[in-house]
Amino acid sequence: ETTQEPPSSPVTVSSFADEFVRQLRYEQGVDLNFATKDNLYQALAGTVRGFMIDNWLATLRTQQATESKIVAYLSAEYLLGPQLENALLATGLESLARGALTSLGLDLDDLEGIEIEPGLGNGGLGRLAACFIDSLATLNIPAVGYGIRYEYGIFRQTFVDGRQAEQPDTWLSKGSPWEFPHPDMAVEVGFGGYTEQVTDETGGSRTRWVPSESVSAVPYNYMVPGYGTHNVNTLRLWSAKATNAFDLQIFNSGDYEAAVRAQTVAENISKVLYPEDSTPQGKELRLKQQYFFVAASITDFITRLLPDDFALTNLPDRVTFQLNDTHPVIAIPELMRILVDERGLDWDVAWDVTRASFNYTCHTLLPEALEVWSVELLGRLLPRHLEIIYRINEQFLAGVRAAFPGDELRARRMSIVQEQPERAVRMAFLATVASSKVNGVAALHSELLRDKVLNDFSGLWPEKFTNVTNGVTPRRFIKLSNPGLSELIDAAIGTGWVNDLERLRELEPFAEDASFRAAFRTVKAENKKRFVDLLATRDGIELSSDALFDVMVKRLHEYKRQMLKVLHVITTYDRVLKGELRAADLTPRVVTFGAKAAPGYRMAKEIIALINAVAKVVNTAPELEGRLRIAFPANYNVTLAEKLIPAADLSEQISLAGKEASGTGNMKFALNGALTIGTLDGANVEIYDLVGADNFFLFGLTEPEVQDISDAGYRPGSYYEANASLRGAIDLIASGAFSGGDRTTFQMIVSDLLDKDRFMVLADYQAYIEAQDKVDVAYADQEAWSRAAILNVARSGFFSSDRSIRDYLDRIWHASPVPVVK
């Protein structure tokens, strides 16, 4: 086992303080008297960053010297969350830093509080990438994360009259102390133009792409420190900059404005993160982003991480490129282009190298979320890549036809290029054909991928398909976010669990220990107070912490069914109004929502408006005597999650079975001692199996049942007609009870539920209400509840992202740890 020691010892409180003051003076240009809070934060960040650099450089040196295989994680998103606390944890400098600041009359928590997190992702997929690079570093795996340094991350959500309004996320307005810009390592990326045949040195013919424009990709390096190791990996995010050559060309033609315009166009590429995470819009700029970052990354890897004379036929010995969903899939034809056109490899040799170098992770099942790019757009932006894709497809379909003679329907189904409704490239198919392994992100999801979405492909290549269940980093989501629980665990079983999360099993006997249960409840109560205090200052929301904390936080999507949660709240209210339930008998509940809607997703925005409208009524209804409250803080992000999750009693994971690929919030809640109310969807299935039926509130249709109902023709109206309580809740919305008597306000929601209800909210309503009634009963027995909560913690060690990474290593990457030599 590795132990924690400060990397650059000996560090003392006073040497830390000296370095901090030096940073303030010589990097910020101020002294303690003139420093703003931002100056202080930047100086602190600079100080902590300084203590990681030697290890980082040693890591790079070791990786070069050992010629080890490197995991190159390609992801359009990294939802990193706050950096300072994580750097302090990794360096082991937290208490020194705290002491040093105190000696200067400053407060660490105060400075941590002003950090703006880099929100370079939409939700689960981006946060997973952040957890994975943490685990890769902790496990001493040589790895580099490649992505995009968006100038504006995920939008800041505000509510105006209860409706979502988006504000730009200006996270870089004061600079970021965590990045190292490297204009010296910029890479040129081309777009547009044409292809031509040229004669090479040997007299043979080659294709050459002649782009019509080019952009410079400037890397920004971030250190990714492991925990309990000297290993510090690199996250390399690319920023677009207009090239001088390009500027000059237009400039010299005398058209100054055109030159400036061209610069803007070029630099727009990394300007903003697209906030859609379900329905691809086929936007040109998005394809440009994708090609921009993977082209820069592949060139960077080949030219800078490998020796100059490296024979690219051996590429798969030195790298595995992991495709985080289809967003980086254009890397496949890009590598083929480099190998064939630029390095002169034979097509078939290049194809073998490419297939051995790529692996693909799929993160969805919703057909509308599968990316396709129109041939028209691809041909215009990346003409050579389109030719390569056609040739890959031709060869692939020849193989399909050979395996299934006469089955033209199958060939059409499997074609990488679809003809209807428009001619377009199916990126998931391209990824599947060109990868060694394809994985889903939870057991159920991988099964459905294999047996439904990609069934034709798994028939052809059964061994290509595998599962790696997602995980979350215990560093950020237990140790940092839940210090109270962490100390309790340390005291019970020692500190080794942070790097070996299965050891949480050793907590099981403590579930039977009344004093441990009491201490566990105390921690939960303190976490609730901390969260209540935060909401008071952050949002002006006043809550009592003496209640069941019922939490649903995730992107707003119909399939996730925030609507079902709303119907539960309304039903409780309606029962009290109708005298079926006495307010005095209600278990006091605080229902907390956190959710951003894609700006163009109308229904999602209506549901947000409805939640806020219901909150307004319920929170002030005298009939409820304050025993049912909704809190909907705006702008849910990683920073808020870290405060909210440790405070939760009940975790809402209520998607329609077969729709949520995995979920990762579900894991964070279980690890922090919340009980789940959930369907058999995504990783809920595995949580349920591990924690046991007694410690999980299971309800709802199973995936095969959903399929059957859907095949038979789902009629939501029949559930409405048959269920008085459901009718009561929906009628209350329709009557205008939450819209000042206006019956039109939420008509879109009501009519959708009654006639379409794509995600079967009405079909699962009764089962959900009954499960929630069981929650109330269970919560009344606090000893039994605590016991179940502790067992959730003890049995969820499987969900460490360290385990996920080990699974990737064993099943897909076949790379090995390389401890840093200092």
Name the site residues for ligand 26V (rule: CB under 6 A): 122-125, 128, 274, 276-277, 280, 325, 363-364, 369, 371, 441, 470, 660-664, 682
Q: Which of 385, 387, 314 is nearest to 352 (CA)?
A: 314
Closest distance to ligand 26V from the beta carbon of 410 (Å): 27
β-partners of residue 156 are: 167
Phi, psi of 705 (to 5 degrees): -65, -40
Closest distance to ligand 26V from the beta carbon of 706 (Å): 16
Closest distance to ligand 26V from the beta carbon of 781 (Å): 32
Q: Which of 359, 481, 478 is nearest to 800 (CA)?
A: 478
- Of residues 138 and 290, the one with the C-beta less far from ligand 26V: 290
- Of residues 363 and 629, the one with the C-beta less far from ligand 26V: 363
Closest distance to ligand 26V from the beta carbon of 154 (Å): 11
Q: Is 359 helix (H, G, I), strand (E, B) or coil?
A: strand
Closest distance to ligand 26V from the beta carbon of 599 (Å): 13
Our answer to whether residue 643 is catalytic in this structure is no
Closest distance to ligand 26V from the beta carbon of 280 (Å): 3
Catalytic hit among 149, 445, 560, 659: 560
Round to whole Å and give the CA distance between 570 and 738. Answer: 10
- Of residues 371 and 574, the one with the C-beta less far from ligand 26V: 371
Q: Which of 274, 356, 260, 347 is nearest to 315 (CA)?
A: 356
Closest distance to ligand 26V from the beta carbon of 379 (Å): 20
Catalytic hit among 664, 676, 679, 745: 664
Catalytic hit among 555, 561, 596, 803: 555
- Of residues 363 and 561, the one with the C-beta less far from ligand 26V: 363
Closest distance to ligand 26V from the beta carbon of 373 (Å): 11
Who's near 780: CB < 8 A, 6+ residues apart? 587
Residue 181's alpha-carbon distances to 127, 185, 563, 790, in angstroms, are 23, 9, 44, 45
Closest distance to ligand 26V from the beta carbon of 439 (Å): 10
- Of residues 242 and 369, the one with the C-beta less far from ligand 26V: 369
Our answer to whether residue 505 is catalytic in this structure is no
Pairing of strands 232-242, 143-148: parallel
β-partners of residue 439 are: 361, 466
3-state per-residue secondary structure call for 68-114: CCEEEEECCCEECCCCHHHHHHHHCCHHHHHHHHHHCCCCHHHHHCC
Closest distance to ligand 26V from the beta carbon of 362 (Å): 9
Round to whole Å and give the CA distance between 767 and 139. Answer: 43
Round to whole Å and give the CA distance between 590 and 545. Answer: 8
CA angle 607-608-614, nearest 5°?
85
Please give the DSSP secondary-structure letter assigned to residue 324. E
Are the beta carbons of 811 and 437 closer than 8 angstroms?
yes
- Of residues 127 and 524, the one with the C-beta less far from ligand 26V: 127
In single-letter form, the type of residue at position 690 comes to L
Structure tokens given for 487: 């100390």
- Of residues 276 and 502, the one with the C-beta less far from ligand 26V: 276
Our answer to whether residue 445 is catalytic in this structure is no
Q: What is the DSSP string of 375-444?
A: HHHHHHH-HHHHHHHHHHHHHHHHHHHHHSTT-HHHHHHH-SEE-SSS-EEEHHHHHHHH-S-EEESSHH
Our answer to whether residue 555 is catalytic in this structure is yes
Catalytic hit among 69, 230, 286, 363: 363
- Of residues 363 and 589, the one with the C-beta less far from ligand 26V: 363
Who's near 524: CB < 8 A, 6+ residues apart? 646, 647, 649, 673, 789
Q: Could you give the residue ranges of the DSSP H alpha helices within 239-340? A: 244-252, 256-267, 284-300, 315-318, 331-337
Round to whole Å and give the CA distance between 468 and 819. Answer: 25
- Of residues 373 and 785, the one with the C-beta less far from ligand 26V: 373
- Note the residue count of the chain: 822
User: CA 669, 672, 676, 682: dihedral to nearest 10 degrees?
Assistant: 40
- Of residues 90 and 287, the one with the C-beta less far from ligand 26V: 287
Our answer to whether residue 475 is catalytic in this structure is no
Closest distance to ligand 26V from the beta carbon of 390 (Å): 23
Catalytic hit among 286, 426, 475, 554: 554
Residue in the shown chain whose Cβ atom is closest to ligand 26V: 124
Structure tokens given for 255: 């058209």
Round to whole Å and give the CA distance between 406 and 389. Answer: 24
- Of residues 473 and 662, the one with the C-beta less far from ligand 26V: 662
Q: Is 469 helix (H, G, I), strand (E, B) or coil?
A: coil
Who's near 671: CB < 8 A, 6+ residues apart? 472, 474, 477, 478, 504, 792, 793, 796, 799
Closest distance to ligand 26V from the beta carbon of 672 (Å): 17
Q: Is 143 helix (H, G, I), strand (E, B) or coil?
A: strand
Residue 606's alpha-carbon distances to 11, 123, 160, 198, 563, in angstroms, are 54, 20, 13, 57, 10
Number of Cβ within 10 Å of residue 182's Cβ equals 12
Our answer to whether residue 774 is catalytic in this structure is no
- Of residues 228 and 440, the one with the C-beta less far from ligand 26V: 440
Residues with catalytic function? 363, 554-555, 560, 664, 668
